A and B are shown apart, each in its own frame.
Chain A
Amino acid sequence: MTRCHAVDQPGLRFGICVLFLRDLRLVAESSGAARKPGGYARLGPRQQGWTPDETVSAMGSDDQFVMDMIACQRRLYAYVLSVVFDKERARDILQQTNLVLLEKKAEFEPGTNFGAWACRVAYFEVLADRRRRTRDRLLFDDEVLASLAKHAEEASAHADQRVDALETCLEQLSAEHQALIRERYSPGGSVAEMAAAASKSAAAISSILYRLRSTLVDCIHKKLEGPAAS
């Protein structure tokens, strides 16, 4: 895989894509992988114990795992972004977390909370990322990070509903404000460029965006928590 590491030097900040060639551990584990007639052969230590009843759903546990992984992608991104703050880093960590989840598939106990388990894996990836970034200034100390991560795990559980609520809340904004949000979040959108295009100061645009974000956060909160939230 290709991993991107930020390099921060005076006047020079860019992403260096390092070819990160660590193969999935699955490769090493697969040499003795069991093969099941009519079903998917699985990798790793869960090779033993094929039963006739499993024939139909042989692919099932693998696919269930992938399904679970997919279902919690939005949650994981929200979780990681909440504790690392930087979108590029969050996507990088999410990518690494997905690979580690595949590697550690055998360690997951079916029937337990997949999302919580995946968040714990993601948290260790966040910590590993922090260790790699000793040269970067870290926004939070370890204590604050641990507290945020703990609460983020719960908060991110509603990531899907939050996106649905956001779509409704965006529709309640005026057309002008919707356009402003779209401009900000469209490819390459930045406050500096929006300010330049509108002949306004960056502070003025930032101030409008602050109010819009506040409105959206309150609206989402009300939709998720009900009227009592206000």
Chain B
Amino acid sequence: MNTDDNGVRRLRRLLSQIIDQTANDQEFAELAALLAERPELHGEYLRMMQAEAALDELYARMQASDVARLGEALAMHPSDVIAGLAAPPSEPNRRTTPAQPSRPGRLSQLTADRLAAAGRRAWWALAAALLIAAFGYAVWPRSYGTLVAANDALWKSGSHCELGQALSKQWLELEAGAVQIAFRSAAVMKIEGPARFRLDGPGRCQLESGSGLAYVPVAARGFIVNTPTMHVVDLGTSFRVEVDDDGTTNLHVLEGVVEAAALSDDRATRLGAGEIAVVAAGGESGLQASGRESAFVRTSPRIAFRAKHPPALGPTGFRGDNRAYVFLERCNFTLPYDLSVNCATTGRHVQFGDIDGRLPAGERVDCYLIHSAPARKRHAVEGTVIFEGEILGIVADSDKLNATNDLFGSPWSLHCQHPERGLESIPDKNAELLEISPDRHTLRITMQTESVDQMRVLVRSVAADSLAE
């Protein structure tokens, strides 16, 4: 790249002006001509646009948050909507927006102007949507999403849904199993029974009880999940919500940012990847956020805790020589059935193919995934992980790890199905050694890894409980 090139400089200036919507028609034409006549500038053009996409990606979260709040406000005041329809203001052409009269130093005025402008845009969009919706109401069914997958789904009588069925605003009760719903906004949500839920819009869902795991792509930012005690707005990209029968709601952000608020309290709290929050039944105590989930796990230098979940986790993901990583996969989860584990007793473990114990159905657990994958051919990791809760059991065998993916893994983050992801037993040359301390809080690890080694450590849930207290 030669930035001394006049063509590069001119291209950058033109692009910058167009991005800022200050370019005129002549400058648009000049850019088109430049790219048509000088193909060698295509790379530079793409560098600039890709950087612009990255900038947009970083700052779009704030935008989604504000839009969502505005939408909420509008939804609460239908009379204002009608008033807005009566006299909608016009908006200037975006490309040729002239500079506004100078208002030196009045940042608050600027903010007010922006809100007003956003409001005007929203009026127009809302007005148009309402007019067309009124016409379309009689012609088209209102469907907000589609049931795209089901796993042993058992519906309560009267709630039965077929695969592929378009879902509208009606309460659905899933007694057992799990379903995936693709919302029209392009958000995808996995709901695990027993659950009672309703789609309230193309980007909005009410979860009265049960567990929901949402992935919200860029196009669907602002996706909303309401529970009896919590209001969650996703600013991208995934989170898990667990709603108890009494309405207590646990939120675990897997990636990106969400805004959450207790229904009894309008103050929204912004939570990043790895953070958890609880609103207890009744909601009087408001939303209690954890800070980081790392507050509940301490690691030695060679084993690092990672709050942000990677997009995929296999032999080629999250590699690091002589290092292992700990992720919180699932927080405050009630085991739906008895679960056998490879390590349950305190002391040393060098065999991982057998069943060492069984965790009873109904146990509340936090599940941590420990992942080791060397960048070079082979590595060794030694260290300790200290958990706030007691270690109840460890799933270390490959088949068992894969079999519990559905239970603990989040499909769009920590899923891995490598056939040899489990720990090796003695006398294998890569045999691992685990030691559970007598007080069950410390796990000492010695791992030797050639491709990938993983284990799931099930810990008595303390994170959400300690917040709710």
Q: Which residues of A contact B (CB under 8 A)?
A: 1-2, 4, 8, 11-19, 21, 23-24, 26-31, 33, 37-43, 56-60, 62-64, 66-67, 69-71, 73-74, 77-78, 81-82, 85, 87, 91-92, 94-95, 98-99, 102, 137, 139-141, 143-144, 147-148, 151-152, 155-156, 159-160, 162-163, 165-167, 170, 181-182, 184-193, 195-199, 201-203, 205-206, 209-210, 213-214, 216-218, 220-221, 229-230
| Pick from B46, B311, B417: contact of A155, CB under 8 Å | B46
Would you call A77 and B218 a contact (CB within 8 A)?
A: yes
Determine if B182 and A102 form an interchain contact, defined as CB atoms under 8 angstroms apart.
yes
Given contacts A81-B52, A193-B110, contact A218 B3 (CB under 8 A): yes
Assembly CA distance A141 to B110 (angstroms)? 39
* A58 touching B132, Cβ below 8 Å: no
In the complex, the answer to whether B411 meets A24 with C-beta atoms within 8 Å is no
Q: Is the CB of B406 within 8 A of A197?
A: no
Check A62 against B180 for contact (C-beta < 8 Å): yes
Q: Can you list 5 residue pairs at the A/B interface with Cβ under 8 Å? A: A38-B151, A62-B149, A192-B99, A197-B106, A197-B107
Whether B124 and A155, one on each chain, are in contact in the complex, defined by CB atoms closer than 8 angstroms, is: no
The residues of A that contact B417 with a CB separation of less than 8 Å are: 57, 60, 64
- Bound Cα distance A92, B136 (Å): 21
Q: Which residues of A contact B188 (CB under 8 A)?
A: 66
* Extra 10 A-B pairs, beta carbons < 8 Å, given A19-B129, A166-B58, A202-B99: A11-B92, A12-B90, A14-B128, A17-B129, A37-B152, A62-B149, A144-B32, A152-B49, A190-B20, A193-B113
B35 touches A144 (CB 8 A): yes
A117 to chain B minimum Cβ distance, whole angstroms, is: 16
Residues A27 and B415 in contact, CB atoms below 8 Å apart: no
Contact B406 A59 (CB under 8 A): yes
Task: Give the CA-CA distance A196 to B13 in the complex, in Å.
Answer: 21
Q: B300 at the A/B interface (Cβ < 8 Å)?
A: no
Q: Is the CB of A14 within 8 A of B148?
A: no
Complex-state Cα separation, A27 to B122, whole angstroms: 32
Compute how far the CA of A24 lies from the CA of B312 in the bound complex, rounded to whole angstroms: 26
Closest B residue to A31 by CB, please name it: B164
When A201-B99, A202-B99 are in contact, do A66 and B118 touch as well, CB less than 8 Å?
no
Q: Is the CB of A139 within 8 A of B31?
A: yes
Flag B169-196 by CB within 8 Å of A: 1 or 0 each: 0000000001010101110100000000
* B102 touches A (CB below 8 Å): yes
Could you tell me if B402 and A41 are in contact, using CB atoms closer than 8 angstroms?
no
Q: Which of A4, A95, A166 contacts B186 (CB 8 A)?
A: A95
Cβ contact of B16, chosen from A21, A71, A167, A206, cutoff 8 A: A206
- A147-B51 contact in complex given A15-B124, A17-B129, A139-B32, C-beta closer than 8 Å: no
Q: Is B358 an interface residue (CB 8 A)?
A: no
B25–chain A nearest beta-carbon distance, Å: 8
The 6 A-B pairs with the shortest beta carbon distances in the complex, nearest first, are A30-B164, A185-B59, A63-B411, A188-B114, A95-B219, A78-B53
Q: Contact partner of A66 among B178, B219, B411, CB < 8 A?
A: B411
The residue in chain A whose Cβ has the minimal distance to the Cβ of B255 is: A70
Quick one: which of B403-427 are within 8 Å of A by CB? 403, 405-406, 411-412, 415, 417
Contact in complex: A139, B28 (CB < 8 Å): yes
A182–B99 CB distance below 8 A: no
Q: Which residue of A lies closest to B45 (CB)?
A: A148
Is A17's CB under 8 angstroms from B128's CB?
Answer: yes
Q: Mark B77-101, 1 if CB is under 8 A from A, else 0.
A: 0000000000000111110011111
A33 with B49: CB separation less than 8 A: no
Asked whether B438 is an interface residue with its Cβ less than 8 Å from the other chain, the reply is: no
For the complex, give the distance between the alpha carbons of A143 and B56 in Å. Answer: 27
Binds A, one of B36-44, B245-253, B285-293: B36-44
Interface positions of B from 197 to 247, Cβ below 8 Å from A: 202, 215, 217-220, 237-238
B90 contacts A91, C-beta separation under 8 Å: no
